[in-house]
Structure 1
Amino acid sequence: MLEPEKDRFSLTIERLKYCDAGCDSEAIAGLFTADGRWVVDGEGASLNSREEIRKHFAR
């Protein structure tokens, strides 16, 4: 198991790869558990499930 900081960095790199490839919403959402949460820093928002994350990037 990776350390939390390395884990978060690895997820960020994977997410950026998917965004560079045309923003693959399914792949990005697949980085999270079904009840995963994405907090959007600076915007005061959060996405509170894999489905919300997928919908956000499908726009």
Structure 2
Amino acid sequence: VKPMFISLGHRISLETSIHYVLECSKGYRLPEPTRQADKLSKNNAYREPEDVQQDALWQ
């Protein structure tokens, strides 16, 4: 298992940062918003430009 680096930011504590990362990472190393964006980009990667649709992350 690879460790994950989580740092606190402006006006957010380390505990709160960890909470948000764990809430967004249900069962996967990448946070869910990143996973969904990656999935959408791969779906459009091999389409012809006129066939590419602007999909929403969540519907």
TM-score, scaled to structure 1: 0.31
The structure with the greater share of residues assigned to helix is 1
Give the structure, 1 or 2, with the largest relative contact order (CA under 8 Å, sep 6 or more).
1
Largest Rg, 1 or 2: 2
